[in-house]
Amino acid sequence: MDKFLIVGLGNIGSEYDGTRHNIGFQVVDFLAQKHSALFQTGRLADVSYCKIKGKMLVLIKPTTFMNLSGRAVKYWLDKENIAPENLLVILDDLAIPLSKLRLRPAGSDGGHNGLKSIQESLGSANYARLRFGIGATYPKGRQVEFVLGKWDEAEIPVVKRKVEKSAELVETYVLRGLEPAMNEVNKMDFSS
């Protein structure tokens, strides 16, 4: 059976719930709920298992905090014997507008500490990542407060649509491959 590791990046603790930086957690929570899967505390991560048409998904939310996410990713890839080409990381991205999602097969960490940690732990940047645009609508010098802040009321409908679409994309990626999933999402605009 094909196995995939789906990683939602975020920080543990109730003070981070519903923040822009925790959107990766929100997406894997939604995916687990959609497939009636429950998260349990595991080593370095909360973990959940679900099957989609004969494919096994191992969903994790690292409990290491963002800057050490790579430890959890490496541990679960090794433990579940999953190849890096079956890894998908979901994260927030300031450089992408709120109206967009970007799926890529590889790339730089783009200054994201979670990706930086994963790259260091795996010794490679060759793994798929779904970047959830959060925009950069903050005053100069207020980046940290923005990223760790909660969504504005006006943003919530777009965020909900993007979370649902992100879960669908994970399914497309797992069932049909990265290319069809990229073709489906990279041109989409959620602003209307």
Average pLDDT over residues 31-43: 96
Average pLDDT over residues 22-40: 97
- 89-124 per-position pLDDT tens digit: 999 999 999 999 999 999 998 889 999 999 999 999
CA–CA gap between residue 174 and residue 192 (Å, rounded): 28
Averaged pLDDT of the chain: 94
Q: What is the CATH number of domain 3-185?
A: 3.40.50.1470
Q: State the pLDDT at residue 144.
A: 85
Contact yes or no for 7/60 (Cβ under 8 A): yes
CA–CA gap between residue 47 and residue 147 (Å, rounded): 24
User: Of 72-76, 149-153, 166-170, where does mean pLDDT reach its minimum?
Assistant: 149-153
Q: State the pLDDT at residue 124.
A: 94
- 1-14 per-position pLDDT tens digit: 799 999 999 999 99
21 noted as active-site residue: yes
Q: Does the pLDDT at position 63 exceed 90?
A: yes
Alpha-carbon distance values, 19 to 8, 10, 26, 112, 126 (Å): 13, 9, 9, 16, 27
What amino acid occupies position 73?
V
Helix residue spans in 2-155 (DSSP H): 23-34, 69-79, 113-122, 143-147
Contact yes or no for 82/157 (Cβ under 8 A): no
Q: Pick the catalytic residue: 21, 61, 71, 112?
A: 21
Angle at 65 between CA 144 and CA 44, to 5 degrees: 170
| 141: confidence class by pLDDT, cuts 50, 70, 90 | confident
Cα dihedral 151, 24, 145, 13 in deg (nearest 10): 100
Domain map of the chain by residue range? Answer: 3-185
Contact yes or no for 89/7 (Cβ under 8 A): yes
| 192: confidence class by pLDDT, cuts 50, 70, 90 | low
Full-model pTM: 0.95
Residue 91 bridge partners (DSSP): 131
Look at the block and give the residue holding tokens 């967009």: 100
Q: State the pLDDT at residue 165.
A: 96
Structure tokens, 184: 């489906």
Q: Does the pLDDT at position 51 exceed 80?
A: yes
